[in-house]
Amino acid sequence: MSETEAVAAEHVAEEHHPAPAAYVKVALVLAVVTAIEVGAYYVTGLSDAVLSVSLLVMMVVKFALVGLWFMHLRFDSRIFRRLFIAGIVLALLVYTVAMTTLGLLVGK
């Protein structure tokens, strides 16, 4: 590929990155979700199960927003996304098995 094409490709890639205002909007959403998380912690009358599920859902939303927008996974090559998701999935699988096994042992 010629240098000109490489420069053009770089330009296209950068055009896909959002404007600063979009990042500020994402940060505002993150702040609001964090406030809701903390608020939910203080709400009395919620069962532990409902509170836990609500908090986990909000955690996943925040995780995804940072990953997709701030880390540019939404705009970058799919290879990066696959590498990162592979790590997350592997960690979830390994430690779900480990915690189930060790949890039973520790409980005895």
Partner 1 sequence: MSDTTAVVEHGAHHTSTGLDNRKLAMWGFLGSECLLFGALISSYLLYRTRGEGVKPVDVYDIPYTSVSSFVLLMSSLTMVLALSALQRDDERQSRVWLTATALLGMTFVGGQVYEFTTFVMHDGISLTANPASSAFFLLTGFHGTHVTLGIIMLLSLVGMSLAGKVGKQNSLYVELVGLYWHFVDIVWVVIFTVVYLMPTPN
| List of residues contacting partner 1 (CB under 8 A) | 1, 5-6, 9-10, 13-14, 17, 19-20, 23-24, 26-27, 30-31, 34, 37-38, 40-42, 48, 51-52, 55-56, 58-59, 62-63, 66-67, 69-71, 77, 79-80, 83-84, 86-88, 90-92, 94-95, 98-99, 102-103, 106
Instruction: Show the 3-state SS of the chain.
Output: CCHHHHHHHHHHHHHCCCCHHHHHHHHHHHHHHHHHHHHHHHCCCCCHHHHHHHHHHHHHHHHHHHHHHHCCCCCCCHHHHHHHHHHHHHHHHHHHHHHHHHHHHHHC
Closest contact distance (angstroms) between CB of 25 and partner 1 is: 10
Which residue, 42 or 45, has its beta carbon nearer to partner 1? 42
Nearer to partner 1, 24 or 45 (CB): 24
